[in-house]
A and B are shown apart, each in its own frame.
Chain A
Amino acid sequence: MLAVLSIESLHVTYGGAVQAVRGVSMEVPDGKVVAVLGSNGAGKTTLLRTISGTLRLHRGKIDSGSVTFDGTDIGSRDPAQAVHLGLVQVPEGRRIFGRLTVEENLRAGGMGNKDKTAKGKAQDRVYDMFPVLQERRTQRAGLLSGGEQQMLAIGRALMASPKVLLLDEPSLGLAPRIIGQIGEVIAEINRQGTSVLLVEQNATMALGVADLAYVLEVGQVSLSGDAQELSRTDEVQRLYLGHESEQADEFSPVVTRKTLSRWTA
């Protein structure tokens, strides 16, 4: 299986001091959905920033390791170059342009896309996938509901016709029913030929749509493998899916919690 995006023992620090990612390697195979799970501070967002080239805006720096997209090293590219290559990120917390109309948001999303016909096609695809955006295209985006804003954020990214779509916690702050819809949307986007790297805390949704999954813990990959298999393991069940495994609790609760602990504060 050909990896369209691969990360090789990546180390990232912020301000030369805080190690956010420590030796992470992962691959996004062409045409697949890859989920990255992990609690707050695990390094998920840092990973996406590295890929999309926005690390520098946060004073982060790649210390070692490489990010390869389609065979070229993209470690030191700027965000516009990443978009041009076909790597587009939907930022955490949606970050739509609230004072612009829905249509203008989509236009802004297509700025990195020089090809006019591709842009037109992308817009048709977005309106096709999210009819509500077409209905509200002249409204200010800030007036959309949370779920619609997430749809807009995804649609905006699709305007650049990405080869790999990077999603940073699309379920954040949304109702369970809407999260289900987001999951379907991701599956649909993938069916239409876009690879997806999905960073999530909502493991149920993420593992539901993903082919492969990685679990990040304080900057390192602690588990990885087939998403279905991973969702059956005890650790993932207990920590991310919320099923208490009685057996584990009875016999060795302390030991398992040591290896994979939920963030509490």
Chain B
Amino acid sequence: MTQFLALLLNGVSLGALYALIALGFVIIFKSSEVVSFTHGSLLLLGAYSIARFSDSIGFVPAVLAGVALTAVVALLIERLIINRIRGAAVISLAIVTIGVDIIILTEMIRRIGSDILNVPHPWAGESIRIGSTGLSLNRVISLAVAAGLIGLFFLAFKYSSWGVAMRASAEDGEAAALMGIRQGRVSAVAWIVAGVLAAVAALFLVGAPTPGVSPTVYTVALGALPAAILGGLDSTGGALVGGLLIGVAEAMAAGYQDQILFLGRGFGSVIPYVVMLAVLLVRPSGLFGTKELTRV
């Protein structure tokens, strides 16, 4: 039972990080109608820059600088590329983001090489014991920070002018334009927010129990994509639920791997996709996604 509780907490904290990343996917999709595949490299960029900066300027300034840098790069992607080809087919836009992703990823891999960079978290190595299993302090803090950020995000989404403008232009772009809402601005802000969320998630993803910054951080974004999709790609609430669902499923599959050994070792990393497929079979537009409606 205590093992179950520990796994659940682990899963929820991992899921909260997935949710941060997935929220970024969702608001980018809502505001620019782009399925962005740049998130993996943004995540890696965030982790890498925080690790590099903290060598020279210390941990807290490095976090701020790393988050800012990631946000700026996200903004540049939107301004220099996405904004210029607004209105292109969803598929073309998605492929463009894959291209951008590959460029950034290649540069990151070149810089990191085979090293594993270390982010000197002040809470590194500490852990909390729950019964026979432990939960790293990193995960506990990440859960608190993610919960705070997600709460803040939903408040802004509901009450701020940007939130209202974003939801209005996601629902009917032309009508929103007629009200004087500048879609370009809404989408630029969405990319900045997505960059910030990705960098913050990266900060915690490279802490315990993960060894440090290596290009494998990139693959975490691949777990957040199913989270966004199974929640319904255009639903922020769905991203949160999807993230948590996938985080918990992954932690459970890893924790009980002896019991599910007949499925093979390392089944935990497959689980996001299994969960996504299972959900999509029953609800093709995701848990909370808008059904595609066509007017006859």
* A residues adjacent to B (C-beta < 8 A): 52, 54, 57, 78-80, 82-84, 88-89, 91, 95-100, 104-105, 107-109, 111-113, 156-157, 159-160
Contact = CB atoms under 8 A, between A and B. Distances in A.
Given A54-B174, A97-B172, A83 B167 contact: no
Contacts of B182: 80
B264 interface: no
B171 interface: yes
Contacts of B172: 95, 97
B171 A79 contact: no
Contacts of B161: 107, 111
Contacts of A89: 178
B210 to A, nearest CB: 39
Interface in B31-83: none
A80 B177 contact: yes
A109 B177 contact: no
A76 to B, nearest CB: 15
Contacts of A104: 164, 167-168
Nearest to B175: A95
A105 B172 CA distance: 12
Task: Tell which of B165, B171, B174, B178 has the most Cβ of chain A within 10 Å.
Answer: B178
B86 to A, nearest CB: 10
B176 A91 contact: no
Contacts of B168: 97, 100, 104-105, 108, 111
A54 B176 CA distance: 11
B179 interface: yes
A78 B182 CA distance: 9
A112 B179 contact: yes
Contacts of B102: none
Interface of B: 161, 164-165, 167-168, 171-182
Contacts of A52: 178
A52 B177 CA distance: 9
B164 A107 contact: yes
A51 B177 CA distance: 13
Given A108-B179, A157-B179, 11 more contacts: A52-B178, A79-B180, A82-B180, A83-B179, A88-B179, A95-B174, A97-B167, A97-B176, A100-B167, A111-B168, A111-B179
A4 to B, nearest CB: 19
Nearest to A141: B171
B177 A98 contact: no
Given A97-B171, A97-B172, A100-B171, A83 B164 contact: no
Contacts of A78: 177
Nearest to B158: A104
A156 B180 CA distance: 11
A95 to B, nearest CB: 4
20 contacts: A54-B178, A78-B177, A79-B180, A82-B180, A83-B180, A95-B172, A97-B168, A97-B171, A97-B172, A100-B171, A104-B167, A104-B168, A107-B164, A108-B165, A111-B164, A111-B165, A111-B180, A112-B180, A157-B178, A157-B179
A250 to B, nearest CB: 43
Nearest to B87: A57
Contacts of A100: 164, 167-168, 171
Report the 9 A-B pairs with minimum CB-CB distance, sorted nearest first. A112-B180, A83-B180, A95-B175, A108-B168, A79-B177, A80-B180, A97-B171, A111-B181, A80-B182
A84 B171 contact: no
A154 B118 CA distance: 58
A97 B178 CA distance: 12
Contacts of B174: 54, 57, 91, 95
Contacts of B178: 52, 54, 79, 83, 88-89, 91, 95, 157
Nearest to B182: A80
Contacts of A57: 173-174, 177
Nearest to A89: B178
Contact of B177 (A54, A84, A157, A159): A54
Nearest to B176: A108
B179 to A, nearest CB: 5
